[in-house]
Copies of this chain bind each other. A is one copy, B any other.
């Protein structure tokens, strides 16, 4: 049971490391969240090039914050699966004014225990809702 808690904590930290890598525009860290460094995002977006994701984030959004919520994962041996929510806030512009685009995401994940810890095999990404709200001047 303690082993299970250790696994659950490691999976939680992986979810946060993924978010931190995206927000820091860190391509190495972003790819490193997946088994063998191979990004596999499925669903509305089909993404296999993690460095390209990071490049696009850097190009289009001066700032993002990926807040991860409600993780429910089941571990079976060296595999795990489950889902979490993520509200991904993106600073952007419309008509020259600063806005915050929020994506309400559900990630359905497959994970694998590796020699380096838990890693994503794949993430199925569904954007369930989007809002755009004006940003205050900073």
Interface residues of A (CB under 8 A from B): 1-2, 5-6, 8-9, 13, 16-17, 19-20, 63, 65-72, 85, 87, 89, 91, 100, 104, 106, 127-136, 138
A9 & B6 in contact (Cβ 8 Å cutoff): no
Across the two chains, which residue of chain B brings its CB closest to A136?
B130
In the assembled complex, the CB of A113 is this many whole angstroms from the nearest CB of chain B, namely: 15
Copies in the complex: 3
Q: Top 6 closest A-B pairs, CB basis? A: A130-B136, A67-B69, A16-B70, A131-B133, A16-B72, A2-B2
List residues of chain B with CB within 8 A of the CB of A106. 65
B65 & A128 in contact (Cβ 8 Å cutoff): yes
Across the two chains, which residue of chain B brings its CB closest to A67?
B69
Across the two chains, which residue of chain B brings its CB closest to A1?
B6
